[in-house]
């Protein structure tokens, strides 16, 4: 059984999906069960380039991925940054050559920030 906002990847074709509605079935792609990403945190190796770092702005949050700037190259980049707050989800897609920074307009209160690295997977911090 899945849970809301879990992220899965197909190990055959590379499709990545996020659960928007929880059902009883198993997620399958290319005839095989999809793999659930385990969110990595500041306790994991490579944290300095992957854990999202937040900064409050007048209208929300600015997220920079890593305390050391993450590479944004063709084969290794931050594909997206996402925040989850009070059941709402905001996501910004990023591309090679861009800075690993995303700005979001959101309310006050606890926020979970996630980023996805094309090589090192899913990372999370909670503000």
**Is the domain covering 7-36 a CATH 2.20.28.100 domain?**
yes
The answer to whether residue 127 scores a pLDDT higher than 80 is no
Mean pLDDT value of segment 22-47: 92
Asked if residue 107 has pLDDT above 90, the reply is no
pLDDT in tens, 53-104: 888 899 899 999 998 989 999 999 999 999 998 889 999 999 999 999 999 9
Residue range 3-20, pLDDT digits in tens:
999 999 999 999 999 999
Q: Confidence band (pLDDT; 50, 70, 90) for 126?
A: low
The architecture that CATH gives domain 47-126 is Sandwich (2.60)
CATH 2.60.40.730 region(s) of the chain?
Answer: 47-126
Q: Where exactly does CATH 2.20.28.100 map onto the chain? A: 7-36
Phi, psi of 37 (to 5 degrees): -75, 130
């Amino acid at each position: 059984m899945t849970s809301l906002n879990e992220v899965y990847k197909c190990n055959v074709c590379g499709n990545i999906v996020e659960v928007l509605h929880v059902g009883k079935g198993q997620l399958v792609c290319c005839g095989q069960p999809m793999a659930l990403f385990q969110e990595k945190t500041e306790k994991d190796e490579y944290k300095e380039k992957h854990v999202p770092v937040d900064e409050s702005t007048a209208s929300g949050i600015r997220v920079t991925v890593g305390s050391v700037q993450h590479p944004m190259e063709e084969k290794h980049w931050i594909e997206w940054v996402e925040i989850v707050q009070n059941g709402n989800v905001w996501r910004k897609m990023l591309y090679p050559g861009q800075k690993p920074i995303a700005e979001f307009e959101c309310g006050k209160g606890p926020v979970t920030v996630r980023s996805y690295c094309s090589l090192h997977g899913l990372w999370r911090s909670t503000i």
